[in-house]
Chain A
Amino acid sequence: MARIGVVVFPGSNCEYDAANAVSALGADTAFVWHSESDLSGFDGIILPGGFAHGDYLRPGALARFSPVMTAVQRFAESGGPVLGICNGFQVLTEAGLLPGALQKNRGLTFLCQPSTLIVTSTRSVLTRSATVGQRLAVPINHFSGSYTCDDTIYDELVANDQIVVRYDENPNGSRDNIAGVSNAAGNVVGLMPHPERAMSTLLGSADGRVLLGSFLGLGAESLA
């Protein structure tokens, strides 16, 4: 059984959703307070959504200096799967573990709505059990979700197949409809949409199971 650590910063607010979602898929989960520095024994790390350190200065700007981030960086460098959801994605970009940056949404509105994602790459730990072109209904809930990068980074993302998921319809002004990216190795992934909130058809969508199941290393057949 995969053992997943869910990092909790002061101001995180999606940690229980994330832990419940991966637990429902069979993972053994534990919360990791941001001041901790030991991630040994975990098979994967999730940075959940919320407002780490109040989002002061910029989302993720202060969280990247939390002690746990040094351990997350080491975990990532050793090939461990790391997933940042929403604010967790912002933290990973600020920490330099993922390329690019997240800016305020086009139109300066907070967006809380369903979105349709299109799987762009299956190289990443988040999409290895999905298929390219697969459409997934996963909600968004953010103010600073407009993915931004310069041409050099963008060209690298395309060349290395690091764009993981795109929006079918661009909700926030993200460059090239980008909703999630990975690092070059594919073991660190961030996305703005919330797969942990798409775990049951009764509540609108179960498509998040494809993404989180991939992250846990479950095959597509077990996620049907």
Chain B
Amino acid sequence: MTSTLNGVNYTVIVDVTLRSGIADPEGATIERALPALGFSGISAVRAGKSFRMSVEADSPASALEKATSLAQRLLSNPVIEDAAARIVEE
């Protein structure tokens, strides 16, 4: 994290994944390719998206709150996707 005039910049990662029970054609296609590449013992592959951002806030909780609000309003479609925000150390 880096300090700014108004607080601290936290690095936040938002992971967006399809809700359980929603078909995932990308994950299924990746999984089907694995045997041909020599991988075994890997199953339940789910594809998703990850967003990394710098969030200015006065506490980790408020950085997460801001990122979660963005995730629910824009980064994910709540009809089919779940979103989870986490802070990472750089």
Contact = CB atoms under 8 A, between A and B. Distances in A.
A108 B29 contact: yes
Contacts of A12: none
Interface string B48-75: 0000000000000000000000000011
A153 B26 CA distance: 24
Interface stretch (A96-104, A133-141, A194-202): A96-104
A67 to B, nearest CB: 16
B75 A57 contact: yes
Among B19, B29, B75, B80, find the residue whose CB has the most chain A CB atoms closer than 10 A. B80
Contact of A108 (B26, B77, B79): B26
Interface string B17-33: 00101110110010000
Contact of A103 (B21, B23, B29, B75): B23
Contacts of A146: 23, 25
Nearest to B18: A103
- Interface of A, secondary structure class, is loop
Given A106-B25, A108-B29, A93 B75 contact: no
A2 interface: no
- Interface of B, secondary structure class, is loop
Among A101, A106, A146, A153, find the residue whose CB has the most chain B CB atoms closer than 10 A. A101
B79 A57 contact: no
A80 interface: no
A92 to B, nearest CB: 12
B14 to A, nearest CB: 12
Contacts of A61: 74, 77
Given A57-B74, A57-B75, A61-B74, A104 B80 contact: no
A184 interface: no
B23 A101 contact: no
A148 B79 CA distance: 9
Q: Sort A-B residue pairs by CB-CB distance and give the 10 closest, nearest first.
A: A101-B79, A101-B80, A108-B25, A101-B77, A104-B25, A148-B80, A106-B25, A108-B29, A58-B77, A148-B22
Given A107-B25, A146-B23, A148-B23, 7 more contacts: A93-B79, A103-B22, A103-B23, A104-B25, A105-B25, A146-B25, A150-B79
